[in-house]
Structure 1
Amino acid sequence: MTTFIARRLAIGLVMLLALSVLVFVLLRLAPGDPIDAYINPSAPLSAEALAALRARLGLDAPLPVQYLGWLRAALTGDLGFSTQRAGVPVLPLVLERIGPTILLMAAGLAIAIVAGISAGILSAVRRNSAADVGLSVLAFTGISSPAFLTALLGLYFFSVRLGWAPSGSMTTPGAAFSVPDLLHHLVLPAVILSIGHAALIMRYMRASLLEVLNQDYVRTARAKGVREFWVIVKHAVRNALLPVITLIGSTIGVAVGGAIFIESVFNWPGMGLLLVSAVSDRDYPVIMGATLVIGAAVIVVNLLTDITYAAVDPRIRVS
């Protein structure tokens, strides 16, 4: 197991390094000049002052040298300063946004896991029934619906038309913090975030459980007179969960993308909203810092998923 974890950790670090290189290069290839973010448009600089500022920021060096300089500083925890928030370091700015994003993603994924697994079991046990057909239609609808469209429709119907949920933010402006108020703001964006993931988990759980139900050991358990409930719960579901565990781990990265749209629509003060505003403002240090933290979080979650999968199925450790 130690060798397995070390190998997966090494792969994760290589992936994180590759991600930082890719984002750094893409930002430099984007239209415009990074130096523009440091210049006040109403007070243009002379050519000499502009060259001096470029040299002070290291933007006159070749691209590989710029990247190595950024990487050297990042390894010490220095991600630079925001260009749009004077004197604000990137790392504290990014870290203070992690909590709201983790809360939103955890709530959304928890709803998706419970709803998806439950619906998948029901759909497989009641195969070809009206419940199976209805759940399958809902699942295909959820999978094919873009996150931004679902968010806008949910906002319109449940906030604007029905008034059941707040239209944005994490808490009520001007009100004292309270858990009920937080949950009131959290429910709608978390449910919307969970829709696509719940649908995907439901389809995987259904297919996996149907395959397991056809195995010999399940038929043997039934032949021995074991009640159908225990055949499903004890013998079938446990083995059917193996591929679903892998799917749940892989959905974390997809959930980050969905969270960006959800946070933008509902003005949720998390990493997604920070990243969108940074891209809009061409705040390169914040974009790099937020991308690095998000990438590291996804890699850690995938590593934990691999460890969980290996603990459940020891054959994975030698593959």
Structure 2
Amino acid sequence: MLTYMFRRLAVGLAMLLALSVLVFILLRLAPGDPVAAYINPSAPLSPQALAELRARLGLDQPLPVQYLAWLRAALSGNFGYSIQRGGVPVLPLVLGRVGPTALLMGTGLVIATVAGIATGIVSAVRRNSSLDVALSAVASLGISSPAFLTALLGLYLFAVKFHVAPAGGMLTPGVPFSLTDLLAHLILPACLLSLGYAAMIMRYMRSSLLEVLNQDYVRTARAKGVREVWVILKHATRNALLPVITLIGSTIGVAVGGAIFLESVFNWPGMGLLLVDAVSSRDYPVIMCATLITGAGVILVNLLTDLLYAVIDPRIQVSK
């Protein structure tokens, strides 16, 4: 197991390095001069001063030299300084936004996992019933609904129309921190984030459980007189969870994209909102750091997903 973990970590580091190269090249290929982000539009520089600024920033060097200089600094924990925020160090700025994003994504994924697995079990057990048809229709609607439409519609209905949830932010300004206030701001964006993923998990769980229910060991358990609820929960559900775990791990990256949009809609102070602001203001150091930390989180979650296989199904052995 340790050998497998170290090998996967090595692959993850290689993927992270490739991601940094890709993002660095894409940022340099973006239209416009990177130096323009450092210049006050109301006080343009002379060509000589512009050339000196470019040389001081290292932007007059070939692209591979620029990347190696950035990588050397990044490996020492120096991701540079934010252009938009007047020289604030990038790494503490980005790390300060990880908590709110992890809270939003974690809550949304927990809601999606619990709701998706529960409705998938009910739909499989009540196959072809009116309840099964209704749940499948709702799941199809949830999968096909764009994230931006769901977010804007949920914001209008629950925050603007019926006033059952705050319209945005993580905490109420000017009010002392309380868990109740945090949950009141969290529940609506987390539920909206979970809708599409709960629908996908429900469909996968239903299909997987229907396949497992036709296996011989399930028939044997029923023939022994095991209660149906234990047949479903103990014998069938555990084996049906493997495709669902794969789905959850593989959709973490997609969930990051959904969280970025939701943070923009609800003004949630996480990495998504920070990244959107950085892209709009061409704050290249923040974009690089936020992208790499997000990529590292996705790679780590995928590693944990693989390790969960052996916990849920002892028959699975990692290859050496």
TM-score (norm 1): 0.98
- State, as a whole percentage, how many aligned pairs show the same letter: 75
> What amino acid maps onto 1:317 in structure 2?
V
What's the counterpart of residue 310 of structure 1? 310
Runs (4+) of structure 1 moved beyond 4 Å? none
Q: Distance in 2 between matches of 1:229 and 1:17?
A: 48
1:56 positional shift: 0.7
Q: 2:291, 2:10 → 1: CA distance? A: 19
Please give the alpha-carbon distance, in whole angstroms, between the structure 2 residues aligned to 1:115 and 1:123: 12
How many angstroms apart in 1 are the aligned matches of 2:186 and 2:220?
46
Q: Distance between the aligned counterparts of 1:90 and 1:298, measured in 2?
A: 20
Q: Which residue in 1 is equivalent to 2:17?
A: 17
Show structure 2 runs of 5+ residues with no match. Answer: none
Deviation sequence 1:45-93 (CA, Å, 0-9, x none): 1111111110110000011111111111111111100111112010011
Match of 1:115 in 2: 115
Specify every segment of 5 or more residues in structure 1 that has no aligned partner in the other structure, as ranges.
none
C-alpha deviation, 1:11, in angstroms: 1.3
SS across alignment from 2:79: coil
| Aligned counterparts of 2:31 and 2:164: Cα–Cα separation in 1 | 43
Aligned residues: 319
Aligned ranges 1:202-281 → 2 under 5 Å: 202-281=202-281
| Partner SS state of residue 214, structure 1 | coil
- Please, which moves more after superposition, 41-50 or 255-264? 41-50
After superposition, give the CA deviation of every residue in 1:268-319 in whole Å (9 maximum; x if it has no partner). 0000000001000011111011001100111111111111113434535128
With 303-312 and 292-301 compared, the bigger mean Cα shift is at: 303-312
Q: Which amino acid aligns with 1:308?
A: L
- Contact 2:80-2:285 at 8 Å conserved across structures: yes
Deviates more, 1:85-94 or 1:304-313: 304-313
**CA distance in 2 between partners of 1:183 and 1:139 (Å):** 26
Query: How much does 1:251 deviate?
Result: 1.9
Q: How far apart are the structure 2 equivalents of 1:81 and 1:229?
A: 58
Q: For the residues of structure 2 that align with 1:287 and 1:171, how far apart are their CA atoms?
A: 26
Over the aligned positions, Cα root-mean-square deviation in angstroms equals 1.1
What do residues 172-196 of structure 1 show as CA deviations (whole Å, max 9, x unaligned)?
A: 1111111101100001000000001
2:37–2:83 contact (8 Å) kept in structure 1: yes
Q: Given the two structures, how large is their TM-score scaled by the length of structure 2?
A: 0.98
Correspondences of 1:1-319 after superposition (within 5 Å): 1-313=1-313, 314-318=315-319
Distance in 2 between residues matched to 1:300 and 1:56, nearest whole Å: 36
Moved more, 71-80 or 1-10: 1-10
Cα distance in 2, alignment partners of residues 94 and 142 from structure 1: 32
Q: Counterparts of 2:311 and 2:129 in 1: how far apart (Å)?
A: 36
SS in 2 for 1:32: coil
For residues 171 and 292 of structure 1, what CA distance do their matches in structure 2 show? 28
Give per-residue Cα distances to partners, 1:241-291, cap 9 Å, x unaligned.
111112111221111000001000000000000000100001111101100
Give the superposition deviation at 1:7.
1.7
